[in-house]
Structures are given as structure tokens and as C-alpha cells.
Structure 1
């Protein structure tokens, strides 16, 4: 009697386990092919078969042609700031910067929709000018100006702007966007603050506080569309493609309010 009862209990347990396993399989299918495509639009890019192969962890094709080199990818490797600072003549850089004042301001702080350069990391200015010079970043005016710069000229300009005081902080906004502080792991978006300061600083990543909102939004849009491709290892393109328009606006607005534009050294006015 007890043996029969034990067998019945075991059978019931096995049945429950099989039902739970079947339910788990159904949930996994629903998540993989219905929920994930909604929150990650590129999940089914290429069709259902590609999505099935990706979910199974196998390639759609077992062999593929080696992609051609991207002519617009940056050729600048990581350059240590100390090396740039040691090799840059601040005085000569200041003389060269006179031709930059109309757009970037007399002291590296612009009142228009172009980047502030005051206090920017030397390796960032060096990289961007080099990319303009070599055609890996496109802008009619900047490419024309950078074309006449020598390697030493670029180092001098980078050293000059790096030593200028940054715009005075205006205090953080009342709310920090989620993408800045924690990112979105489900969409493979790391927090902005891990590269651009706040949590950590990735070498070669620019200081963004006080940049023009319109400029930042335009750059993220260019990264998303692939019009700008001089980011190292495609990091910004991979992130920007996942961002929604309202998230781009929120992040750009956040960094734009982090400093007073056009008032170097000025303290914030008291609230009225």
C-alpha cells in the first residue's frame, strides 16, 4: 500500500516537473520571439530565421566574406594625455587658436552650437583634429582648417585648450536621465557616465558638460545613422542606434545644463 502510494506520488511529481518544463519552454519562446523584438527592434533584423539562429547561438551562415576596411574609421590609437602634454607647446597652440575663436570662443567656450574646447582632454582634441585632417570625420570647414595643420600643430592646439579653465558648473539638473546613470542593459547600453565622467572616465572619451544641446543631439543622430564613424570600435554607433529620440533629447539636455555656456569663470546667479 505504501509502495503504491509512493509510486503515485512520484508519478505526480514527474508530471508536475514535465508541465513546468513545458511552461518554461513556452515562456522562453514568447520572450525570444515576441517580447524581445518589441524592446530591441534590431533583434529580428534579417528575418525570423536569423532570429532563430541567434537565439540558438549558431551562425546563419558558416562562412562569410571578410568585411572591407572602413575608410571613415579613425586611425588614431589611444594616446596618453601625458605624452600629448609633454609634446605640446601651449604658447604656439594659443597663436594657432586665434583662427578658431570665431566659432569656439576666445577662451574656448562657444555661445553657438559648436563644441566647447576649454579644458577638453588633450587626447580628445588631438584625435578629432587628426580625424578631420585625414578625412575620418567630415565637416567642410573643419576639414579645410585641419588640412593645413602639422602633427606638432595639432599637439600644440590640444595642449593649449586642455589648460584653459572649463565653464563654471551650474549644478546638476533635478533629475539625471536613466541612460546617464545606469544605462539600459537589456538594450546593451552602458551608462554614459562610465565613459564621459561621473562614474569613470574612458581614455579618449570627451568631457561633455556644458556642450550645446543641439550639437550633442546632432552627433548622436549622426552616429545612429552611420554618417559619423570615427568612434573607436563603433562604441557610440552601437549605443546611439538603440536610443529613442526622446532619450537622445534627454541626455543632450542633461549635459547641456551641466555648465554655464559663454561665461568662463562666472559663478551661477542666485535664484530669484
Structure 2
């Protein structure tokens, strides 16, 4: 019996490993992603569009973010690590392939009008004090000295993002992802960083980052894409 259980365990591990490897190999198609944006363009395809939850703020610019970040964000909304009723409902309807296709589409959408981004950002002393509050300078260590060159594909580009959205996101990290509420984001690193700042400091940091040249943008779409 022990031998049988041992064999079943090995097979289960092998199956799980194969499934993980398969998930990691999912590659996105720009062409297919363009056909799957019907649930996205109503908010992310309108310049200046504002959401009303958890407060009134502009929806984030997603064109120009990396494909891996978009997949990571959608996955977090699907699992509940990022709490947002509307985004959870949308992400929950997407397969891994759908997410990969949408990631590929929006990543290339931001490249159509190429932008020049400075190698470094000239940070005002008042903001530098906030960025440097952590001895490891985690803000720029992860998001890049210009807040536009993340050190990892799952980390978002922040430069040029809407200030009010950045503030809402930081406050969500302060709340965390525990419990059954409708607001909060689960991320140990971001939670630790966000909790260092009070409301005024979050507003100052978000306002500065929003003024920096960056890759992210909102690209208007005049119609919904037809799914064949």
C-alpha cells in the first residue's frame, strides 16, 4: 500500500509539474488579442475615462505595459490577490491563453507611436526623500530609476500613469489582500513600501511619477473588435 501511495504521489507531482510547465509556455498572439478586447475598450480605450470604485479616478493606461505584467495583473484580479469586483468578474472569465493574447496585444499597442524616455529621472528633493525612505530604495530598484524600466516583467511601468490611479493603487496595497472585503491588494513588498507613506505623501509621490515621460498610454479604439 505504501508503495502504491508513493507511486501515486510521484505521478501527481509529475502531472502538476507538467501543468506548470505548460502554463509557462503559453505565448500570446497580438492578432488574437485584438479580437478579445470587447470587455477592455469600454474603459481602457477611452482617454480620460473615470471609474467610480473605490473612488472616482481615471482608469489606468495599459497600452505599453509589458505582456507579462498584464498577465500578472489579470491573474491577480482573477485569484483575488487584487480586489476589485469588476476586474475580478472580467478576469475570471479569461483563460490563460486569453490573458496571454491580451497581454501581447496591449504591449505592442503602446509601441505604435514610439516615445523617448530619459535614462534617469530628476527627482525633486521632497520626492527623493520619500523614494529613499527605504534604505534599499525599493521604488527605483524595482520600477527603475526613471520609473519606466522595471527590473522584472511582472513589475509595472509607472512613469506617465494617472496620478489618481497610482494613489488608489498604493492605498490598496496599504489595505492588503486579506479578508473578504472589496478593496485591497496582496503583495508583501508593495504592502511594506506603501505603509510607509501617509495620504499627503502618497499624493505627492503619485503626482510626481505621473509627470514623467513613459511608455504607457491610452490608445482610443473607435469600435469593438469582432470575434470570428
Query: What TM-score comes out, normalization by structure 2 length?
Result: 0.65
* Distance (whole Å) between structure 2 residues aligned to residue 189 and residue 221 of structure 1: 21
Q: 1:88 to 1:253 in 2, by over 3 A?
A: same
Aligned residue pair count: 176
- Whether contact under 8 Å (1:179, 1:191) holds in the other structure is no
Q: Which of the two has higher C-alpha Rg?
A: 1
* Match in the other structure for 1:228: 184
1:175 aligned residue (120, 124, 131): 124
Task: Confirm or deny: 8 A CA contact 1:104 1:110 kept in the other structure.
Answer: no
Runs of 5+ consecutive residues of structure 2 not aligned to the other structure: 1-19, 51-57, 177-182, 220-228
* Partner-residue secondary structure (3-state), 2:184: coil
Residue 164 of structure 1 pairs with residue 109 of structure 2: yes
Once residues 217 and 105 of structure 2 are traced to their aligned partners in structure 1, the CA distance between those partners, rounded to angstroms, is: 18
Provide the C-alpha distance between the structure 1 equivalents of 2:39 and 2:186, rounded to a whole number of angstroms. 24
Equivalent residue in structure 1 for 2:145, among 198, 206, 210: 198
| Counterpart-to-counterpart distance in 1, 2:129 and 2:64 | 25
Rate the CA distance shift 1:143–1:254 in 2: closer, same or farther, 3 A: same
Where structure 1 has 5 or more consecutive residues not aligned to the other structure, the ranges are 1-78, 265-272
Match status 1:247 vs 2:201? yes
Distance in 2 of aligned mates of 1:139 and 1:189: 30
Task: Report what 2:14 is aligned to.
Answer: none
Q: What is the CA-CA distance between 1:217 and the residue it aligns to? A: 0.6
- Give the superposition deviation at 1:95: 1.2
- Which has the higher mean CA deviation after the structures are superposed, 239-248 or 161-170? 161-170
**2:32 aligns to what?**
92
1:87–1:105 Cα change, 3 Å: same
By how many angstroms is 1:125 displaced? 0.5
Displacement, 1:139?
1.0
CA distance in 2, matches of 1:164, 1:240: 30
Q: Do the aligned partners of 2:174 and 2:194 also contact (CA within 8 Å) in 1?
A: yes
Q: Aligned match of 1:147 in 92, 95, 98?
A: 92
TM-score by length of 1: 0.56
3-state DSSP of counterpart to 1:97 = coil
Higher relative contact order (CA closer than 8 Å, sequence separation 6+) = 2
> Whole-Å Cα distance in 1 between the matches of residues 208 and 116 of structure 2?
13
Map 1:78-157 → 2, pairs under 5 A = 87-105=27-45, 111-112=49-50, 113-157=58-102
Structure 1 residues 153, 230: closer, same or farther in 2, change over 3 A? same
| RMSD between superposed Cα atoms in Å | 3.2
Of Structure 1 and Structure 2, which has the larger fraction of its residues in helix? 1
